[in-house]
């Protein structure tokens, strides 16, 4: 050992004595130093909020991780690429290539508003909406307008375009998320038209799958701020034509042109306003329990059936996606890991887990869900899930709430029905400690994943918002309430009980109150109260018409009074679930339409499953000649024109 050391020292001395040797040693030391820096840097804890969000969410996500008994099927941890935020980015990248949102061209006219001081040389750019002839709605100096449009920052409504009316604010409001981009600015001089000094601003709304609260769209090279020359300049109607040529007809398009005298100067302003959208067919609906979700599901079933869309059915035609386990793509019949996501609609009961859901539906899918006031939700849940471990021994909801931990065992496999059921369905831990930070993280995570949260107390308003978001027509969202209890199994609640329910379901309460608020903000922003009420009225009228056409009597009836057993809903727990009788003697087309409206969830799901996965004919029976694959339905037009859907929902008793 001593000898070796002496040998090493002698050699090192020899190396160090010569010039190249010294250089070599210095170089090695330098490399060593750089490597050490790299290592130290890697070991530093990353302190950015996204990391903290991820970590905190992991903690709050799942009690099943704490309780191995709870998980029957373990799943591989999501890959890096599967992380919701990364996936969201992928969605947005895709969005750049889509034109699902609407486009709008606003023409700004240079004017000198009366109230502007005469000594100011600068002209103002004004947008005059068609509806208002003599009032200026928006004033911006040319400077302001240009700088606003070229500044890479979040836009806010009323900031860039003050006073823009509701219809236009739809697009502008969405820019709050930073996804507005101006894809052309051109002055009228470039267009060489009679009206001088016009500025055309083309806006594109965010694509429909843009999630609420998703990160701002990156400005920069993807944002289009091109000042176009005459040759390049597209007219708004060219844009529209391009849309039409591009693919399926938009469900609605609105173009208005107006010429308005603006006072003494005799200046004329052109307003050109255009909206185009394309019906959404890729949809994820988180079917939150006891929140009118079966009624929404019926709407999705009918739409999917009518448009020949595919559903992500539970394996072997089951009715839930292995609930209460977190959703896994492999729970879906026909899912194959190697293939791109291939199903249009995912809407069966599941416990949400976004990275897995994304394997099943295309990245353009709209994600939405529906919430209910936790007080009413728990009252309903107590009756419907009376047989579960937490509720079975309590004589009343009041008794349960007086000492919940006498009855409630968080480790029981069915305890989620008794506490924070919405939180659980969204994939989070219903027994987590309620802190402001956790609540905030949970809300942010929901916002990052979902495009829209509806409120069952405002069901009709929700349907109007839904059809706007999905770019569907009103008829597609008309429904009759399904899965409702009769009054004999409902109990009125005292205010004390209501308060206890809120406290017991605090996480649900936080979710509900937050999204109830954003719901109305969204209504204001996207639709406006006035148009909302018009649409709600129209929806109710349509429902009343359909009830007169389809239903016997005045509406729903108790289970014993439902004559057609295939229309009898599942009776569960202590609840008596109502159903409907269809009128006799309807023509075939109408009968089918009416039947679909009142078919309970389980029967409808089974029927659609059989259409999507037709059972193999028995081996020993002779093969019939090749038939066309079963068509679930003709087009929407077919429904509107009263054409028949050629299949009956028969023999589908649960």
Nearer residue to ligand PPS within complex by CB, 64 or 381 = 381
- The nearest distance, CB 637 to ligand PPS, in angstroms, is 26
- Is 89 a binding residue for ligand PPS by CB under 6 A? The answer is no
As a whole number of angstroms, the distance between CA 276 and CA 215 comes to 24
- Is 289 a binding residue for ligand PPS by CB under 6 A? The answer is yes
- HSE (CB half, 13 Å, CA atoms) of 382? 24
Binding mask 410-449 for ligand PPS (x = CB under 6 A): ----------------------------------------
Please enumerate, as own/partner, the contacts of 119-126 that have beta carbons within 8 Å and a separation of 24 or more.
123/197, 125/199, 126/262, 126/269
- The 10 Å Cβ neighbour count of residue 358 is 23
Select from 61, 64, 295, 556 the one that contacts ligand PPS (CB under 6 A).
Answer: 295
Structural contact between residues 467 and 636, judged by C-beta atoms closer than 8 angstroms = no
With CA atoms as reference, report the closest residue to 171 among 163, 162, 180.
180
- CA-to-CA separations, 316 to 361, 458, 460, 486, in angstroms, rounded: 19, 35, 34, 32
Nearer residue to ligand PPS within complex by CB, 293 or 469 = 293
- Is 484 a binding residue for ligand PPS by CB under 6 A? The answer is yes
As a whole number of angstroms, the distance between CA 14 and CA 20 comes to 11
Tokens representing residue 563 in the block: 């004559």
- Is 293 a binding residue for ligand PPS by CB under 6 A? The answer is yes
Query: How close are the terminal C-alpha atoms of the chain, in Å?
Result: 84
- Is 605 a binding residue for ligand PPS by CB under 6 A? The answer is no
- The nearest distance, CB 504 to ligand PPS, in angstroms, is 18
- The nearest distance, CB 389 to ligand PPS, in angstroms, is 18
Structural contact between residues 330 and 348, judged by C-beta atoms closer than 8 angstroms = no
Q: In the window 10-39, what residues touch ligand PPS (CB under 6 A)?
A: none
Tokens 């859907």 appear where? 645
Nearer residue to ligand PPS within complex by CB, 185 or 421 = 421
- The nearest distance, CB 481 to ligand PPS, in angstroms, is 3
- The nearest distance, CB 651 to ligand PPS, in angstroms, is 23
Q: In the window 336-395, what residues touch ligand PPS (CB under 6 A)?
A: 380
- Is 291 a binding residue for ligand PPS by CB under 6 A? The answer is yes
With CA atoms as reference, report the closest residue to 478 among 296, 605, 639, 602.
296
Q: Where are the alpha helices (DSSP H) in 419-458?
A: 421-425, 436-449
- Burial class of residue 389 (count of CB atoms within 10 Å of its CB; 0-12, 13-18, 19+): middle
**How many residues at the interface with ligand PPS, by CB under 6 A?**
15
Q: In the window 454-483, what residues touch ligand PPS (CB under 6 A)?
A: 456, 459, 481-483
Q: Measured on CA atoms in the order 511, 512, 513, 517, is the torsion positive or negative? A: positive
Nearer residue to ligand PPS within complex by CB, 86 or 490 = 490
- The nearest distance, CB 288 to ligand PPS, in angstroms, is 7
Nearer residue to ligand PPS within complex by CB, 450 or 459 = 459
- The nearest distance, CB 584 to ligand PPS, in angstroms, is 25
Select from 124, 290, 348, 416 the one that contacts ligand PPS (CB under 6 A).
Answer: 290
Q: Which stretch binds ligand PPS (CB under 6 A): 243-251, 283-291, 385-393, 504-512?
A: 283-291
Q: Which stretch binds ligand PPS (CB under 6 A): 204-212, 289-297, 325-333, 361-369?
A: 289-297
As a whole number of angstroms, the distance between CA 257 and CA 263 comes to 19
Tokens representing residue 483 in the block: 């899965």
- CA-to-CA separations, 348 to 319, 331, 332, in angstroms, rounded: 7, 11, 10
- The nearest distance, CB 325 to ligand PPS, in angstroms, is 17
Nearer residue to ligand PPS within complex by CB, 481 or 638 = 481
- HSE (CB half, 13 Å, CA atoms) of 400? 26
- The nearest distance, CB 371 to ligand PPS, in angstroms, is 11
How would DSSP label each residue in 163-228? T--HHHHHHHHHGGGT--EEEEEEEHHHHT-SS-SEEEEEEEPPPTTPPTTPPPPP-STTS---B-
Tokens 């009898």 appear where? 568
- The nearest distance, CB 634 to ligand PPS, in angstroms, is 27
- Is 319 a binding residue for ligand PPS by CB under 6 A? The answer is no
- The nearest distance, CB 518 to ligand PPS, in angstroms, is 19
Nearer residue to ligand PPS within complex by CB, 167 or 293 = 293
- The nearest distance, CB 372 to ligand PPS, in angstroms, is 7
Nearer residue to ligand PPS within complex by CB, 267 or 294 = 294
- The nearest distance, CB 453 to ligand PPS, in angstroms, is 14
Binding mask 91-120 for ligand PPS (x = CB under 6 A): ------------------------------
Nearer residue to ligand PPS within complex by CB, 104 or 383 = 383
Strand order in the sheet with 124-127: 138-141, 124-127, 103-111, 198-204, 181-187
Residues at the site binding ligand PPS, with contacts judged by CB under 6 A: 289-295, 380, 456, 459, 481-485
């Amino acid at each position: 050992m001593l000898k070796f050391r002496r040998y090493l020292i002698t050699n090192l001395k020899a190396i160090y004595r010569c010039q190249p040797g010294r250089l070599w040693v210095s170089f090695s030391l330098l490399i060593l130093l750089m490597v050490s820096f790299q290592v130290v840097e890697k070991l530093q804890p990353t302190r950015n909020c996204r990391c903290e969000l991820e970590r905190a969410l992991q903690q709050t996500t799942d009690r099943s991780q704490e309780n191995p008994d709870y998980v029957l099927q373990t799943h591989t941890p999501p890959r890096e690429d599967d992380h919701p935020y990364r996936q969201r980015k992928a969605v947005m990248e895709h969005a750049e290539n889509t034109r699902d949102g609407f486009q709008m061209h606003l023409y700004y006219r240079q004017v000198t508003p009366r109230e502007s001081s005469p000594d100011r040389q600068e002209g103002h750019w004004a947008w005059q909406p068609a509806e208002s002839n003599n009032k200026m709605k928006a004033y911006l100096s040319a400077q302001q307008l240009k700088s606003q449009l070229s500044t890479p920052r979040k836009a806010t409504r009323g900031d860039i375009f003050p006073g823009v009316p509701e219809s236009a604010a739809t697009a502008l409001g969405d820019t709050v998320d930073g996804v507005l981009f101006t894809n052309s600015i051109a002055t009228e001089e470039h267009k060489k038209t009679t009206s001088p000094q016009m500025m055309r601003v083309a806006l594109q709304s965010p694509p429909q799958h843009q999630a609420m609260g998703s990160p701002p769209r990156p400005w920069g090279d993807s944002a289009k701020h091109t000042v176009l020359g005459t040759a390049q300049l597209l007219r708004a109607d060219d844009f529209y034509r391009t849309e039409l040529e591009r693919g399926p007809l938009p469900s609605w398009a609105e173009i208005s042109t107006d010429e308005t005298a603006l006072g003494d100067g005799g200046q004329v302003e052109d307003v050109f306003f255009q909206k185009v959208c394309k019906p959404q067919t890729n949809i994820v609906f988180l079917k939150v329990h006891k929140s009118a979700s079966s009624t929404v599901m019926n709407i999705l079933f009918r739409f999917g059936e009518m448009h020949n869309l595919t559903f992500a059915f539970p394996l072997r035609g089951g009715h839930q996606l292995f609930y209460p386990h977190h959703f896994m793509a492999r729970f879906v019949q026909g899912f194959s890991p190697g293939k791109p996501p291939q199903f249009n609609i995912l809407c069966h009961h599941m416990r949400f887990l976004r990275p897995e859901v994304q394997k099943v539906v295309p990245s353009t899918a709209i994600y939405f869900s529906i919430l209910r006031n936790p007080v009413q939700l728990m009252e309903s849940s107590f009756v419907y899930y009376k047989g579960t471990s937490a509720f079975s021994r309590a004589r009343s909801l009041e008794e349960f709430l007086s000492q919940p931990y006498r009855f409630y065992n968080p480790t029981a496999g069915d305890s989620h029905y008794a506490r924070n059921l919405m939180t659980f369905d969204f994939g989070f831990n219903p027994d987590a400690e309620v802190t402001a930070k956790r609540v905030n993280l949970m809300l942010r995570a929901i916002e990052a994943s979902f495009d829209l949260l509806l409120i069952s107390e405002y069901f009709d308003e929700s349907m109007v918002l839904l059809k706007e978001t999905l770019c569907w027509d009103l008829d597609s969202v008309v429904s009759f309430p399904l899965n409702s209890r009769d009054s004999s199994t409902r109990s009125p609640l005292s205010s004390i009980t209501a308060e206890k329910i809120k406290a017991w379901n605090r996480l649900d309460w936080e979710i509900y109150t937050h999204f109830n608020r954003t719901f109305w903000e969204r209504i204001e922003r996207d639709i406006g109260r006035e148009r909302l009420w018009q649409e709600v009225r129209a929806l109710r009228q349509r429902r009343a018409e359909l009830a007169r056409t389809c239903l016997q009597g005045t509406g729903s009836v108790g289970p014993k009074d439902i004559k057609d057993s295939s229309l009898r809903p599942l009776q569960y727990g202590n609840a008596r679930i109502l159903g409907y009788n269809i009128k006799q003697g309807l023509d075939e087309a109408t009968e089918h339409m009416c039947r679909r409206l009142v078919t309970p969830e389980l029967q409808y799901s089974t029927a659609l499953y059989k259409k999507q996965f037709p059972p193999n004919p028995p081996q020993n029976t002779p093969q019939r000649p090749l038939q066309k694959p079963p068509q679930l339905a003709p087009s929407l037009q077919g429904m509107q024109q009263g054409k028949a859907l050629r299949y009956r929902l028969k023999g589908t008793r649960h």
